[in-house]
Amino acid sequence: MKATLKDIVIEARELFRRHGYDGASMQELAERVGLKKASLYTRFPNKEALAPEVLKLTLAEASSGLADDVDWRARYAAVLTRFAETLIEGKRCVGLHLAYGVSNDTPLAQAAVRDFFKVQREGLAAILTSGGMPAGQADATAADAIARLEGATLWLATMNDEAPMRRALAELIAAQA
């Protein structure tokens, strides 16, 4: 079976999620998707080129199938719930793991990570402003919500306990009720 670009990106995401940017290797990725390393390099010239594609796919999956025709509170709750469930399922955030491995030496990946979190914050802030929250407050509230859920992944990853994530999610949703 020939690996599709999506197959490669999905496997790269799992490697980044499990091993971080530095620990993920193109060799292991090639093996996981059943390609020779040289074939993998014809699709992605380097590991850095995978980061934007991984994060783009992750954002697309996070927003797919969410209803647009609900009130802002229900949409906010749905987006946060989807985000938390994705973190619980993966036990780690691929964006956060990438953030710790990219640097000025990997500007494409660094920009992709920054954009990943910026898009999440802007999406949540847009929902909050549609409910009447002032823009500056909405940006801060959205950033705090993301930081709180991301922080709960530490407990999840180290203790295999999703209770702090569930509590954080419930409190974040209740704060806007």
Domains of the chain (ranges, CATH numbers): 51-175 (1.10.357.10)
Two tokens, residue 117 = 């979190």
Least confident of 80-84, 92-96, 111-115: 92-96
Helices 163-175 & 135-159, crossing angle to 10 degrees? 170
Q: Which amino acid does the sequence have at 90?
A: G
* pTM (two decimals): 0.89
pLDDT digits (tens, 9 = 90+) for 139-169: 999 999 999 999 999 899 899 999 999 999 9
**First vs last C-alpha separation in the chain:** 49
Backbone angles phi, psi at 83, to 5 degrees: -60, -50
Give percent of the chain above pLDDT 90: 78
Confidence band for 1, pLDDT divided at 50, 70 and 90: low
Spell out where the chain has E strands: none
